Amino acid sequence: MSDSELKARHRAMWASGDYPSMVETWLLPLGPRLVDACAIGPGTGVLDVAAGTGNASLPAAQAGADVTASDLTPELLEAGRSRAEAEGLALEWVEADAEHLPFEDESFDVVISAIGVMFAPHHQQAADELVRVCRPGGKIGLLSWTPEGMIGALFGTMGPFAPPPPPGTQPPPLWGSEEHLNELFGDQVDFATSQRGVLEVSAFEHARDFGEHFKERYGPTIAAQANARRTEREAEFIEAVDRFCEEWNRGTPDRARFEMEYLLAVGTLA
């Protein structure tokens, strides 16, 4: 599979379902946490890579930063642009591949990504691009799901049903591993902040409602279920997702509650 074909597949996957509504339902707290950790303020030149609908871009703009939000999927950028207009925020929206960013070297004071760049298929290429566009002494801030947490486990559950990954690609939750970040960035970035946190989600009455939410709206889950259907394993897939949601429910029979672990890492570029 060529790189252009792979990126077209990724673009279509994230455009499927309704990722913007997922952001609005339970993901909104993550962006401000990353912006606060990076101490983004007035006049800071910020690039949000794989920004999606602007979960971190909009809080950065609210803090007075000069923000560029980039993403591979134009449908997500359009949703973010609408959110920004509704909130009276001005920022630039750029369609861009995280592995081939269309920006000059050393262009930004801070480069961030909230559960975004982790989904670029070639991790080292994406990491190298984050470093390239950040000025020396600038910051790189990342918030990623951990391999051991709930979303890491979800990818483990869906993996056997999904199409085989192309050669040379790596699983997204690796970005939530301190060891993997050190491998990607080496001594180029000093991650002075590296801490794990939890996003609590209580927007769903029953545990399996969360699974339905993912199957209807989350591109990776939609793709895995479609492949399971093609291979006549859809019933098995649905059962696996239902069982996953029951196992990870930390709430009660009347109100589900989930805890999603993430790694928040902020470093200074050498």
For the chain, 270 residues long, give each residue's pLDDT as a single digit of tens: 788 888 998 988 998 989 999 999 999 999 999 999 999 999 999 999 999 999 999 999 999 999 999 999 999 999 999 999 999 999 999 999 999 999 999 999 999 999 999 999 999 999 999 999 999 999 999 999 999 999 999 999 999 999 998 889 999 999 999 999 999 999 999 999 999 999 999 999 999 999 999 999 999 999 999 999 999 999 999 999 999 999 999 999 889 999 999 999 999 999
Q: Report the number of distinct structural domains present in the chain.
A: 1
Give CA–CA dist 64/56, Å, rounded: 13
In a domain, 232, yes or no: no
In a domain, 191, yes or no: yes
Q: Which pLDDT value is given to residue 238? A: 97
In a domain, 217, yes or no: no
Residue partners of 194: CB distance under 8 A and separation at least 6: 178, 181, 263, 264, 265, 266
Judge if pTM exceeds 0.75: yes
In a domain, 120, yes or no: yes
Q: Which pLDDT value is given to residue 3? A: 86
**CATH code at position 54:** 3.40.50.150
In a domain, 169, yes or no: yes
In a domain, 192, yes or no: yes
* Cα–Cα separations (whole angstroms), residue 220 to 52, 134, 223: 14, 30, 5
Q: Which domain holds residue 150?
A: 3-204+259-269
Whether the CB-CB separation of 248 and 153 falls below 8 Å is answered with yes
